[in-house]
């Protein structure tokens, strides 16, 4: 099957995707389209963003959906609002000529009443984020009795954002006869567990594999200490002119710091992370798509919803913990048949992490030297000519009589003048600057990142769950009690923490002279950290006492959750 016309998809669908310029199915589409059209088994597909996943499941489903019924037949669950809107937009495009098919997006952080109203249109397809779907189930606004297909998109991400309970509730609320398709970039233990419990003898496919992504992406890494990282980043950007890139950071704080640094240094850059409001994020993404900015500094989670195909570079300002995330990030470049470059900045103490990435992903990575001022000017000269020759059309008219007499100059002299003019500021910046010292990977490892990194990251994750989705959630599940304070707690399942332990810890931390016992609310234990609620009047006891206690030898820390 090399062309869409060789599939059995209906003419309405072929016409719509033809208009979008799709000619041949991508690798994952080649595998899923015939499977979904003919098989009733569940499916697990290991695939990353950018492989054509959305069309892979929605085209065959659209082909089979019953447009005479006005009941929900397809439910797609995905982790973020951006992805939810993207999938909805794609499905609407694919079903453009199926006039009786309606698709509705439901997601947190936006008016639930508006969404309930749009459900009155009786869509056959719902694309939603788990928290909002639960809210709507609780309000009896969704009827899942006729669901035929359930898609879990980016299952790994949904689980790592702590949506396990919500997924399990939704999976059990939908009819047993449905067919479930689970898409995930990585096969974590949690994803395996969910698939074991909720999928029946699933067929497995794996595409967009590391090998495929690798071919047209060149991987470079540079060893540099923390203090010189920003300067090294500037040099790497300057030595790769005309780039359109994403710089990945580990935490929101780091993301903002790096973006501020670049903006202060005159780059068309901006930050994308979860501390920004939805409107701010939308603006940044729009600016980036329109290329009003050409460098986006982002956290992994925030960058998920962004769909751009023409990135020239991906820069790993900080390495991720999971090698698959490294592949996922890098796979953002080198799309649509173009070449891409992935650049990683590595601290001397991260040698073990680098080794792990190399061995798990089998990616060939070449160590580079941080460019000198001279290297940078050379690269920039190349960049000026590259952009010059890329211009094939006139953007404005002007009369040749405006050009002065240039006959006194040779063409080389003119080129020199042009380059001096264009690169003056950069040349002045690097003129008296020392080159950065070469650094070596050290044998002393710290592959978990610095304490500060870890703390920022855990706090980020906690906030991710607290944003939009949670605060919008009505009804039973974990509504924040006004008389309670919600705490972020640094221990989680990985520390063998159980609810009883948390009760014990809170009781110890709050048992003062007074006989009154603190009321304890919701306790939520996640993989790496937890949340709990305690009566407001005991807030200070928790804050001041927990820090001096230990659990199984580990230091404990509680902070008021945002
Ligand atoms: P996805 O993995 O679903 O986010 O898709 C990645 C990008 O590839 C999107 O911009 C799609 O519009 C595009 N795409 C999906 N399938 C095809 C195809 N068969 N041919 C060309 N582009 C495609």
Instruction: Report domain extents, the chain.
Output: 4-206, 211-244+310-443, 451-560
Tokens 């594999």 correspond to: 209
Rounded to the nearest whole angstrom, what is the distance from the C-alpha of residue 330 to the centroid of ligand 1?
17
What average pLDDT does the segment 289-316 reach? 90
Whole-number Å distance between alpha carbons of 275 and 79: 17
Give me ligand 1 centre to Cα 35, in Å: 19
| Residue 124 alpha carbon to ligand 1 centre in Å | 23
Residue 86 alpha carbon, nearest atom of ligand 1: 4
Looking at residue 294, the DSSP 8-state letter turns out to be S
Greater model confidence, 380 or 483: 380
Pocket test for ligand 1, best of 2, 5, 6, 26 (most atoms within 8 A of CB): 26
**Bridge partners (DSSP) listed for residue 245:** 295, 313
pLDDT of residue 150: 97
Look-up of token digits 């794609």: 90
Specify the pTM. Answer: 0.52
Percentage with pLDDT > 70 across the chain: 91
Among 252-261, 379-388, 467-476, 526-535, whose mean pLDDT is lowest? 467-476
Of the ranges 184-188, 283-287, 347-351, which one carries the lowest mean pLDDT score?
184-188
Give the length of the chain.
562
Sheet strands (E) in 421-501: 484-489
pLDDT tens-digit readout, 104-133: 999 998 899 999 999 999 999 999 999 999
Q: What is the pLDDT of residues 194-230, one digit of tens each?
A: 999 889 999 998 875 544 445 788 999 999 988 899 9
Q: What pLDDT is stored for residue 461 in this prediction?
A: 57
CATH fold for domain 211-244+310-443? Rossmann fold (3.40.50)
Question: 468: pLDDT confidence band, cut at 50, 70 and 90?
Answer: very low
pLDDT average, residue stretch 527-541: 89
Distance of alpha carbon 392 from alpha carbon 400, whole angstroms: 18
- At 514 the pLDDT is 64
Structure token digits, residue 267? 């780059």
The residue whose CA is least distant from atom 22 of ligand 1 is 22
Centroid of ligand 1 to alpha carbon of 150 (angstroms) = 21
Residue 279: the pLDDT is: 86
Q: Whose CA is nearest to atom 11 of ligand 1?
A: 52
- pLDDT over threshold 50, residue 474: no
Q: Which atom of ligand 1 is nearest to the CA of 4?
A: 19
Atom of ligand 1 nearest to the CA of 22: 20
Q: How far apart are CA 562 and CA 555, in angstroms?
A: 22
Atom of ligand 1 nearest to the CA of 29: 19
How far is residue 403's CA from residue 409's CA, in Å, rounded to a whole number?
13
Q: Which residue has the tokens 């159980």?
A: 498
**Identical fold between 4-206 and 211-244+310-443:** yes
Q: Is 113 exposed, middle or buried (0-12, 13-18, 19+ CB in 10 A)?
A: exposed
Q: How far is the CA of 55 from the centre of ligand 1 (A)?
A: 7
Closest CA to 300 of 550, 79, 521: 79
* Contact partners, residue 140, CB within 8 Å, separation at least 6: none
pLDDT for 513 equals: 61
Q: How far is the CA of 334 from the centre of ligand 1 (A)?
A: 14
Atom of ligand 1 nearest to the CA of 51: 2
**What pLDDT is stored for residue 44 in this prediction?**
95
Q: Using one digit for the tens of pLDDT, what is the confidence trace for 146-189?
A: 999 999 999 988 988 889 999 999 998 899 999 999 999 878 78
Q: Tell how far the Cα of 269 is from the centroid of ligand 1, in angstroms.
A: 26
Q: Which CATH class is domain 451-560?
A: alpha beta
* Atom number, ligand 1, closest to the C-alpha of residue 47: 2
CATH of 4-206, one of 3.40.50.300, 3.40.50.720, 3.40.50.2300, 3.30.930.10: 3.40.50.300
Tokens 């992805």 belong to which residue? 83
Task: Answer yes or no: are the C-beta atoms of 510 and 502 closer than 8 Å.
Answer: no
Q: For residue 161, what pLDDT is reported?
A: 83
Work out the average pLDDT over 526-549.
88
In the three-class reduction of DSSP (H, G, I as helix; E, B as strand; rest coil), residue 109 is classed as coil
CB 215 within 8 A of CB 229: no
Q: Return d(Cα 173, Cα 175) in angstroms, integer.
A: 7
Measured CA to CA, the distance from residue 164 to residue 387 in angstroms comes to 49
- CA 308 to ligand 1 centroid distance, Å: 10
207-217 residue pLDDT tens: 755 444 457 88
Q: Which atom of ligand 1 is nearest to the CA of 87?
A: 3
The residue nearest atom 5 of ligand 1, judged by CA position, is 52
Ligand 1 center–CA 18 separation, angstroms: 12
Angstrom CA distances, 298 to 241, 285, 346, 447, stand at 20, 11, 18, 21
CA distance between the termini of the chain? 51
- How distant, in Å, are the alpha carbons of 227, 394, 433 from that of 290? 33, 21, 34
Pocket test for ligand 1, best of 21, 33, 52, 331 (most atoms within 8 A of CB): 52
Q: Kindly give the pairing relationship between strand 245-249 and strand 179-184.
A: unpaired
CA-to-CA distance for 88 and 374, rounded, in angstroms? 49
User: Cβ < 6 Å from ligand 1: which residues?
Assistant: 22, 25-26, 29, 49-55, 307, 309
Q: How far does residue 335's CA lie from ligand 1's centre (Å)? A: 10
Residue nearest atom 20 of ligand 1, based on CA coordinates: 22
Ligand 1 midpoint to CA 279 (Å):
26
* CA of residue 21 to ligand 1 center, whole Å: 10
Query: Which of 1-15, 123-137, 435-449 reaches the highest mean pLDDT?
Result: 123-137
Residue 375 in tokens? 């290297």
- Closest ligand 1 atom to the C-alpha of 24? 19
The protein residue with its alpha carbon nearest to ligand 1, atom 21, reads 22
Residue whose CB lies within 8 A of the most ligand 1 atoms, among 55, 76, 85, 310, for a mutation test: 55
């Amino acid at each position: 099957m090399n062309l869409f016309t060789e599939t059995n998809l209906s003419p309405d669908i072929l016409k719509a995707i033809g208009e979008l310029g799709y000619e041949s199915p991508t690798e994952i589409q080649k595998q899923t389209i015939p499977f979904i059209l003919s098989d009733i088994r569940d499916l697990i597909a290991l695939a990353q963003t950018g492989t054509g996943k959305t069309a892979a499941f929605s085209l065959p489903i659209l082909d089979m959906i019953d447009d005479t019924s006005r009941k929900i037949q397809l439910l797609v669950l995905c982790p973020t609002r951006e992805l939810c809107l993207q999938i909805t937009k794609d499905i609407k495009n694919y079903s453009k000529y199926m006039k009786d098919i309606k698709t509705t997006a439901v997601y947190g952080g936006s008016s639930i009443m508006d969404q309930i109203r749009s459900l009155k249109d009786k869509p056959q397809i719902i694309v939603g984020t788990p928290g909002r779907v639960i809210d709507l189930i609780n309000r009896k606004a969704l009827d899942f009795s006729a669901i035929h297909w359930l898609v879990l998109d980016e299952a790994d991400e949904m689980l790592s954002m702590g949506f396990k309970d919500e997924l399990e509730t939704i999976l059990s609320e939908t009819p047993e006869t449905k067919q479930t398709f689970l898409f995930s970039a990585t096969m974590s233990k949690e994803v395996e567990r969910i698939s074991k419990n909720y999928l029946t003898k699933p067929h497995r496919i794996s595409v967009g594999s590391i090998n495929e992504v690798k071919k047209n992406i060149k991987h470079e890494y540079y060893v540099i200490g923390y203090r010189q990282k920003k300067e090294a980043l500037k040099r790497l950007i300057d030595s790769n002119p005309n780039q359109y890139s994403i710089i990945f950071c580990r935490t929101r704080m780091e993301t903002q710091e790096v973006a501020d640094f670049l903006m202060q240094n005159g780059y068309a850059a901006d930050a994308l992370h979860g501390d920004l409001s939805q409107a701010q994020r939308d603006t940044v993404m729009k600016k980036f798509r329109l290329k009003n900015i050409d460098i986006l500094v982002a956290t992994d989670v925030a960058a998920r919803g962004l769909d751009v195909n023409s990135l020239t570079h991906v820069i790993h300002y900080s390495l991720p913990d999971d090698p698959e995330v490294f592949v996922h990030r890098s796979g953002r470049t080198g799309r649509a048949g173009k070449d891409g470059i992935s650049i990683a900045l590595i601290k001397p103490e991260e040698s073990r992490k680098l080794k792990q990435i190399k061995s798990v992903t089998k990616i060939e990575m070449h160590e580079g030297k941080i460019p000198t001022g001279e290297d940078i000017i050379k690269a920039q000269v190349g960049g000026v000519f590259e952009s010059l020759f890329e211009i094939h059309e006139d953007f404005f008219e002007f009369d040749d009589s405006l050009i002065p007499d240039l006959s006194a100059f040779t063409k080389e002299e003119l080129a020199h003048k042009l380059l001096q003019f264009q690169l003056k500021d950069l040349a002045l910046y690097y003129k008296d600057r020392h080159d950065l010292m070469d650094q070596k990977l050290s044998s002393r490892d710290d592959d978990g990142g610095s304490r500060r990194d870890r703390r920022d990251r855990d706090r980020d994750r906690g906030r991710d769950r607290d944003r939009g989705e949670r605060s919008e959630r009505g009804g039973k599940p974990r509504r924040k009690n006004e008389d309670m304070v919600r705490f972020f707690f640094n221990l989680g399942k990985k520390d063998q923490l159980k609810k009883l332990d948390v009760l014990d810890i809170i009781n110890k931390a709050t048992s003062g002279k007074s006989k009154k016992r603190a009321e304890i609310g919701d306790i939520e234990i996640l993989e790496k950290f937890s949340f709990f609620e305690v009566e407001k009047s005991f807030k200070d006891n928790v804050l001041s006492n927990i820090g001096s206690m230990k659990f199984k030898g580990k230091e404990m820390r509680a902070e008021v959750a945002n």
